[in-house]
Chains A and B, each alone.
Chain A
Amino acid sequence: AQSVTQPDIHITVSEGASLELRCNYSYGATPYLFWYVQSPGQGLQLLLKYFSGDTLVQGIKGFEAEFKRSQSSFNLRKPSVHWSDAAEYFCAVGASGGGGADGLTFGKGTHLIIQP
């Protein structure tokens, strides 16, 4: 079964500074990887996803993520954060094979705090 680890429960970053959120996954085959963002009291919004191909994936709101198979990682980055980026960020993995399989498995999330 697949699993996801987000090692950082909280991260504090100054506005305008760069950001990297870590995500490690465990899955035997090529995983389907996702980053979602959740603002307080809201549903989840997809930032980006990776299935295959170019290992550097561009997403919405200026985010990007890099898939590194050797490190089983899919870290999320942003060169310059804005106060509106403060939210909960979830990394998720899905089993390949189509048909939706077992659905998405989410990490525990990283709470991003932006300092003025």
Chain B
Amino acid sequence: DTEVTQTPKHLVMGMTNKKSLKCEQHMGHRAMYWYKQKAKKPPELMFVYSYEKLSINESVPSRFSPECPNSSLLNLHLHALQPEDSALYLCASSPLWDLEETQYFGPGTRLLVL
């Protein structure tokens, strides 16, 4: 099983809503990542978790709150988002947090903030 699953596939939320994105993998990977991809742009790294600990936070606003409750699950909690946060949010995992390890990407959650 080399699959990373993400739910929901699509999400529409208002600026006052609180929602969460979920990412799951059962490959035994110990590194998990959140990327943000705006339309017609490349993915940009947001967060890296290694062994369930936050290892990189790329100066992401606090309205994005990641959580890694166990080695298979990664959440991204969203609160008070802005319309410019509308994007495709990609989750990825790799065996270890090491560039020699292949990152496997999920299909993404397409988020629209109204």
Q: What residues of chain A have their CB less than 8 Å away from a CB belonging to chain B?
A: 32, 36, 41-46, 49, 51, 90, 94-96, 98-104, 106-109
For chain B, which range describes its interface: under 10, 10 to 19, 20 to 34, or 35 or more residues?
A: 20 to 34
Interface of A is mostly: loop
Of the candidates B31, B43, B110, which one forms a contact with A100 in the assembled complex, judged by CB atoms under 8 Å apart? B31
A51 to B98, CA, bound (A): 12
Residues of B within 8 A of A102 (CB): 45, 56
Expressed in whole angstroms, the Cα–Cα distance for A77 and B90 within the complex equals 26
Stretch in contact with the other chain, from B12-20, B66-74, B78-86, B99-107 = B99-107
B43 touching A44 by the CB < 8 A rule?
yes
Residue from A41, A44, A46, A98 in contact with B98 in the complex, judged by beta carbons closer than 8 Å: A98
- Which of chain B's residues have a CB closer than 8 A to the CB of A32? 99-100
Query: In the complex, what distance in Å separates the CA atom of A49 from the CA atom of B98?
Result: 13
The listed residue with most B CB atoms (<10 A of its CB), out of A44, A51, A107, is: A44
Q: Given that A51-B100, A108-B41, A109-B42 are contacting pairs, would A100 and B50 also be in contact in the complex, using a CB cutoff of 8 Å?
A: yes
B56 contacts A43, CB within 8 Å?
no
Residues of chain B lying within 8 A (CB to CB) of residue A49: 102
Specify which chain B residues have a CB less than 8 angstroms from the CB of A98 in the assembled complex. 98-100
Question: 20 A-B contacts, Cβ less than 8 Å apart?
Answer: A32-B100, A41-B110, A42-B107, A43-B90, A44-B43, A44-B105, A46-B102, A49-B102, A51-B100, A96-B99, A98-B98, A98-B100, A99-B97, A99-B98, A100-B55, A102-B45, A102-B56, A104-B45, A106-B44, A108-B41
